[in-house]
Amino acid sequence: MASRQPTTQNALHGPANPHAVDSAIALEPAAATAVADTSIYRVVLASLVGTTIEWYDFFLYGTAAALVFDHLFFPELDPTAGRIAAFATYAVGFFARPIGGVVFGHFGDRLGRKSMLVTTLMLMGLATFLIGVLPTYSQIGIAAPVLLVVLRFVQGFGVGGEWGGAVLMVVEHGHRGRRGLYASWVQAGVPAGMLLATAVFTLFNLLPEASFLSWGWRVPFLLGIALLAVGMFIRLQVLESPLFERVRVRKQQAGIPFLTAIRRHPGNILLAMGARMAENACFYIFTVFVLSYATDYLHVPRSTILNGVLLASAIEFFVIPGFGMLSDRVGRRPVFFAGATALALYAFPFFWLFDTANVALMVLAILIGLLIHAAMYAPLAAFLSELFGTDVRYTGASIGYQLASPLAGGLAPLICVQLLAWSGGKPWPVSLYLIAFAALTLVSVVLAAETHRAHLDDRADH
């Protein structure tokens, strides 16, 4: 397979004729291999940094929604209604993600991966900055939550297109035997973004309550503009995907990638969605919903849970590449299956540990939860990319990935708050909710084909 990898600068830049592209892909001298290694490391770094920044923006909102947005934007509602309203605005971003996936997937498959990565990063950074300067309900009334929803939609629209491009830049540059490892570093951008967002929010949470609610919560959002500059600089240094360049030189792009992907790969899109459900739901329950649950029902200081999420995210960052490497060795499905099974078994013990209100056990509960999440999330990027042909890979992978987001992650905190209210504060319905998602994922993984040895350029490029 090594002989099929893009290993020369000509392949990376996209020569003027398809025969030159084919010749470049076929070469593998020692010098060209060194160039390819340098290239893939640069691509991985650019994707990791950019994805970290985008998820910092996205998760920052979730932390604020769990802790302060009900007070700032919905002060006239009772506490439970205010929490539900805050999480409802949070969910808006998830419903925007499939739209972003379709739109940016279309242009990513038609024009290229790199330009979409730059555009989505710009959208996320600007929306996050504007949230930081947004007046609250006490200042402009109902217009405040309306504008908050609009900016949250822009965030979701941007991140919906970002994931597919970042993953494909790595997967389509990388070596077949290491796709799981390389792509898992993009996935590691999620806990890295969570780590960064939680760390910054925790720092400003040390302010007196009045200062934090008046201006302290804004600073993490305003910092997004500086991170945007860093991310833009790094992403602009990366070359276009060589596999996409070959499709573009041959003029083989799909006319309407969305319709082509739906027609050609309907089963794979549904299986990709199903595979994501447990991973997506558990992550937002273990990192966002628990902030509200711990402070409102267990009366544990919010700084305690923030520190727990901080520690667990740091550990997950280093664990994800390990699971990605394992998926290269044993396959995507076994690693995924083990993670979903562990989640089903852990759904009740998680809350048993949490309900002790013992700080060490609560942190341990979050840590175990994110380690289980890592086993499912690490192989996901390579797995979804390998299900589709180059001409519709951006669209197909994005649809499968993003359509699951509103149904699982976006609604999870909102539904869990309502389940707690219905059960009188007892978490057992939330545990059953997690088990249902785990079962759906297990069925999807069993029905899916193993892809870790697939040749990407053999995947229906026609």
- pLDDT 10s digits, 364-419: 999 999 999 999 999 999 999 888 888 889 999 998 888 888 888 878 888 998 89
Cβ neighbourhood burial of 250 (10 Å; 0-12, 13-18, 19+): middle
Give the residue from 186, 176, 445 showing the smallest Cα distance to 321.
186
| 201 three-class SS | helix
Check pLDDT > 80 for residue 299: yes
Check pLDDT > 70 for residue 346: yes
Assign 141 a pLDDT band (cuts: 50, 70, 90).
very high
How far are the Cα atoms of 28, 282, 323, 331, 344 from residue 372, in angstroms, in the given order?
38, 9, 10, 17, 10
Tokens of 210: 């009045």
Percent of the chain with pLDDT over 90: 35
pTM of this structure: 0.80
Please tell me the predicted confidence (pLDDT) of residue 174. Answer: 67
Q: What CA–CA distance (Å, rounded) separates 94 from 56?
A: 15
Please tell me the predicted confidence (pLDDT) of residue 118. Answer: 85
How far are the Cα atoms of 333, 428, 433, 435 from residue 439, in angstroms, in the given order?
15, 17, 10, 6
Please tell me the predicted confidence (pLDDT) of residue 153. Answer: 93
Tokens of 287: 């990192």
How far are the Cα atoms of 265, 293, 323, 401 from residue 377, in angstroms, in the given order?
22, 24, 9, 11
Give the residue from 15, 28, 1 showing the smallest Cα distance to 246.
15
Check pLDDT > 60 for residue 434: yes
Q: Could you report the per-residue pLDDT of 415-432, keeping only the tens digit for each?
A: 998 899 899 889 999 999
Q: Could you report the per-residue pLDDT of 240-260, keeping only the tens digit for each?
A: 878 888 888 888 788 888 899
Please tell me the predicted confidence (pLDDT) of residue 457. Answer: 63
Q: What CA–CA distance (Å, rounded) separates 129 from 133?
A: 7
Q: What CA–CA distance (Å, rounded) separates 175 from 435?
A: 36
Q: What CA–CA distance (Å, rounded) separates 44 from 173?
A: 9
Please tell me the predicted confidence (pLDDT) of residue 15. Answer: 35
- Length of the chain equals 462
Conformational region of residue 459, where left means phi above 0, alpha means psi within -120 to 50, and beta covers everything else: beta
Q: Which CATH architecture has domain 2-453?
A: Up-down Bundle (1.20)
Instruction: List the chain domain ranges.
Output: 2-453
For residue 207, the one-letter residue type is L
Please tell me the predicted confidence (pLDDT) of residue 412. Answer: 87
Average pLDDT, the chain: 84
Instruction: Give the residue-averaged pLDDT of 10-23.
Output: 36
Give the residue from 426, 147, 414 showing the smallest Cα distance to 289.
414
Please tell me the predicted confidence (pLDDT) of residue 78. Answer: 83
